[in-house]
Structure 1
Amino acid sequence: MPYTSDNWPIAAALLQSPGTLADGTSVQNADVGEWLTTLADVARVGFRHLDLTDSWLRIADLSTERLIEFELAATSVGLSVPSLSVVRQSVIDPVDGVANLEYAHRTIDAAASIGVEVLSIGLHRALTAEQREQLWFWTAPGASDPVGDPEVWKLAVERIRDLGTHAAENNMVVSLELYEDTYLGTADSAVNLVQDIGLDNVGINPDIGNLVRLHRPIEKWQEMLAKTLPYANYWQVKNYFRDEDPVTGAVISIPAPLELGFINYRTAVRDALSLGFQGVLCCEHYGGDGLGVSATNMRYLRTLLPDAAEQPVEAAVTEGAAS
């Protein structure tokens, strides 16, 4: 069945939902009723799809019984789970890379068992102490991948290819998230990495919002998308106000609703559709009522997608990235 504006999977991220409850209880160990509170909030603002962000709940670490409880809870409020995002678990982290790789494999198994079609991963690591102290964490430098190190690059290729092979066995795609100062930190580097991995089901999550918000010079957003959209198989979308002072060089960025920010998503979505993009869209937003703004963004996105009277893009989120 072809997608239309009405049924295109647009998922809510759970970045705004902490993994620890107010009483100090971990969401991981919380009663299913606590999960339902968050899931019901997502459904109440109009979402029908959920991106299972693992900073909220790590389904790889749930027992089979608890995983079934989660699936039933999501279904009970009318949510499907087409995608899952593994956050800040780089498989080439010099300390935790092996453990992160093993965790990603377990995540694939758990995700496949509840029908998830997309696994989004990145090479960004845990926030540093300095980043956690900032109002906006991206205003302080984080960990970075070693530039020009062929051995670490090779390790990234091999480990992500390993995950991609496992995902393909479960009819899933793997999407690599653009993120500064990693091997996915520029459009060119991300494309090179995907090409070196060489699997049809491993593509790019062209989340250029991660780069637009940086307080430094950046490549034009149109150029970043022109390079990455041909490889896109899933897309986390968010926007920022961005201002650059040509005299002092100062840059300011603030989270913005999708329709109002620096990136023109009307143009971006049009270009993606023209290239045959067929993936899940995931709404993210930092600050304030992140879920509420994401819901506004979801409704805006639906105005940009083909309606039933047009020629809609064929639905095939499990197909690989374009090559």
Structure 2
Amino acid sequence: MTAEPRRWTRDNWPIAAAMIQYPNIMGDGRSVQDQSVEEWAETLADVVDAGFTELDPTDSWLRLADLAPVRLESFIELVHSLGLTIPAISTSRRSVIDAEKGDEYLAYSHRVIDTAKTIGAGSVSFGFFEPLTEAQKQALWFWTVDGAKNPGDSDIWNKAVRRIRELGRHAEELGIEVSLEMYEDTYLGTAQSAVRFVEEVGLPNVGINADLGNLIRLHRPMEHWQEMMAKVAPYAKYWHVKNYTRTEDPASGVIVTHPAPLESGIINYRAAIRMALAYGFSSPFLCEHYGGDGLSVCASNRDYLRRILPRDQGHQP
């Protein structure tokens, strides 16, 4: 079973706020998992005040799949009471091939898919990136320090393919799409590798989360964003969007990047989105931004997306 093609315009395209600006552990040591509905409401009020009608809880903030049924129901009632919907659920740093917790994260990922069905979300995002190292946590921008790398081991690659195929088949039965997040030094760390991976998985509901921002922010040589997008556009599904400035000095080899609004960074999202639309892209977007008032920057990015998305449904196949 696969979902029916969605037909959206710039006025109603689901564009969600990410919750990466908000910690999972509060100042008093409590987890967001244990907060009251009223405390959740205080946080979500920020999202509403920023003008969003969609959010992705992002499990770095709240693990919906680990809430007891009554708690999940209370959260969703709150979300709806605030005029919000959840079009997708993203996971972060819970790789199903993690050397220590891969089996645990695989079971968790299945729960994420079931939870998506329960709450009416049509997309889930998984990735192979792992928890930040201590050195990354100490850095101003964590991506300037190398983190964990997926092993160059064909057996682990094949295990990753099998596990994502397993998740993909589960999701397919429920009419949900699976989007695999591009991230450095993982099996989705280049456009070529990401395409190879989803082709080996071989399911129509499993595609690529073309989060090129995760790659162009790196202080290392990088394939041009346009070349990457041309490769992954046919496979694009639920899409995390963010942008960065990038300066390269060929003489010294110095590369410097910095978070930027979508319309101001090095990736031309007007062009990138048109590439994906040409292949029938019809998935939600998630606005992310690191640094400063990330939620407000995301709100501006949402407005930018609404200006450049199609006026009508004529682009759909």
- Number of the residue aligned with 1:71: 76
Do residues 260 (structure 1) and 264 (structure 2) align?
yes
AA in 1 matched with 2:23: P
- Number of the residue aligned with 1:318: none
1:83-131 superposed Cα distances (whole Å, 9 cap, x missing partner): 0001000101111111110111111112211111101010000000010
Do residues 48 (structure 1) and 53 (structure 2) align?
yes
TM-score (norm 2): 0.96
AA in 2 matched with 1:188: Q
SS at match of 1:53: coil
Superposed CA RMSD in Å reads 1.1
- Number of the residue aligned with 1:99: 104
- Number of the residue aligned with 2:217: 213
Do residues 86 (structure 1) and 97 (structure 2) align?
no
- Number of the residue aligned with 1:317: none
Q: Distance in 2 between matches of 1:272 and 1:109?
A: 28
Structure 2: any 5+ residue segments left out of the alignment? 1-5
Do residues 142 (structure 1) and 152 (structure 2) align?
no
Q: 1:75-224, aligned counterparts within 5 Å?
A: 75-147=80-152, 149-224=153-228
1:52: how far off?
2.0
Q: 1:288-303, aligned counterparts within 5 Å?
A: 288-303=292-307
Structure 1: any 5+ residue segments left out of the alignment? 315-323
- Number of the residue aligned with 1:321: none
* The 10-residue stretch of structure 1 (78-87 or 270-279) with the greater mean CA deviation from structure 2: 270-279
Do residues 311 (structure 1) and 310 (structure 2) align?
no
Q: Distance in 2 between matches of 1:106 and 1:269?
A: 31
1:312: how far off?
4.7
- Number of the residue aligned with 2:3: none
The answer as to whether partners of 2:278 and 2:315 remain within 8 angstroms in 1 is no
Q: Distance in 2 between matches of 1:36 and 1:75?
A: 11
Aligned residues: 312
Q: Distance in 1 between matches of 2:225 and 2:7?
A: 29
* The 10-residue stretch of structure 1 (267-276 or 80-89) with the greater mean CA deviation from structure 2: 267-276
Do residues 235 (structure 1) and 229 (structure 2) align?
no
The answer as to whether partners of 1:19 and 1:27 remain within 8 angstroms in 2 is yes
Do residues 4 (structure 1) and 9 (structure 2) align?
yes
AA in 1 matched with 2:303: R
1:25-74 superposed Cα distances (whole Å, 9 cap, x missing partner): 21000001111112121111111111120011001111110000010010
The answer as to whether partners of 1:3 and 1:312 remain within 8 angstroms in 2 is no
Q: Distance in 1 between matches of 2:72 and 2:133?
A: 31
Q: 1:12-27, aligned counterparts within 5 Å?
A: 12-27=17-32
SS at match of 2:57: strand
Q: Distance in 2 between matches of 1:301 and 1:8?
A: 9
TM-score (norm 1): 0.94
SS at match of 1:192: helix
1:4: how far off?
1.0
Question: 277, 283, 286: which is aligned to 2:287?
Answer: 283
The percentage of counterpart residues that share the same residue type is 55
